[in-house]
Amino acid sequence: MAYGRRATTAVACAVVAAITLAGCGGGGGDKKADDKPSASASASAKNTPGKKGSSPSATPTQILAQIKGEQGVSITINSAVRDAGGFVTVQGVLTNGGSEIYDANDLRGNETALVASGASVAGAVLVDEAGKKRYYVLRDTDGRCLCTMGLEDIDPNASRPFFAQFPSPPESTTSVEFELPTMPPAKISISEG
């Protein structure tokens, strides 16, 4: 009888440990600068729209562009990497330089289908001027963006990392324009992953 209770206790502990470990995944807070989110990693991160810090962190080792928008908000783009899977992942940092708490609802854009993405960078677009094409942030089957969500309650002088994943322009395209609603466009270079 004691053996049965020990076995049941061991199984219960294993289940609790598995649930605990599963809850720890997808944070990305301790990724290295050379880690790149995959489509599946991005897809799992988007499943937690209210969870803050659910996106890969962008280590500001380089600056491709800086954009200043309304309410003192600025965007710093640190990388735009094309991977072998046919995606371009843009990473950077959003900084609230204003005097009030900021929610990134305006950066989501006006498209009704993107409401599910909440306060996010879902409105981001890559423009290939030479190829005359626009590339929108990828979405999952529920219509949520493959980008950082939960960009809300950002205190003055606070920063949050963000990422957005796009279909890849042709390999011959190495420079695109990054656009976000309410902000001026910025030229960025795409590097190969």
Summarize pLDDT for 39-56 with one digit per residue, the tens.
Answer: 434 443 433 333 344 444
pLDDT of residue 17: 39
pLDDT class of 179 with cuts at 50, 70, 90: very high
pLDDT of residue 116: 82
Q: With pLDDT > 90 as the criterion, what percentage of the chain qualifies? A: 52
Helix (H, G, I), strand (E, B) or coil at 20: helix
pLDDT of residue 14: 42
Taking residues 165-170, report their average pLDDT: 96
Helix residue spans in 25-167 (DSSP H): 39-46
Taking residues 56-84, report their average pLDDT: 85
pTM listed for this prediction: 0.68
Residues 6+ apart with CB under 8 A from 192: 81, 82
Helix (H) or strand (E) holding 169: none
User: DSSP character for 119?
Assistant: S
The pLDDT mean for the chain works out to 76
The tens digit of pLDDT for each residue in 81-113 reads 999 889 999 999 999 999 999 999 888 887 777
Residue-range definition of the domain harbouring residue 90: 2-192
Domain count, the chain: 1
Residue 127 has pLDDT above 80, yes or no: yes
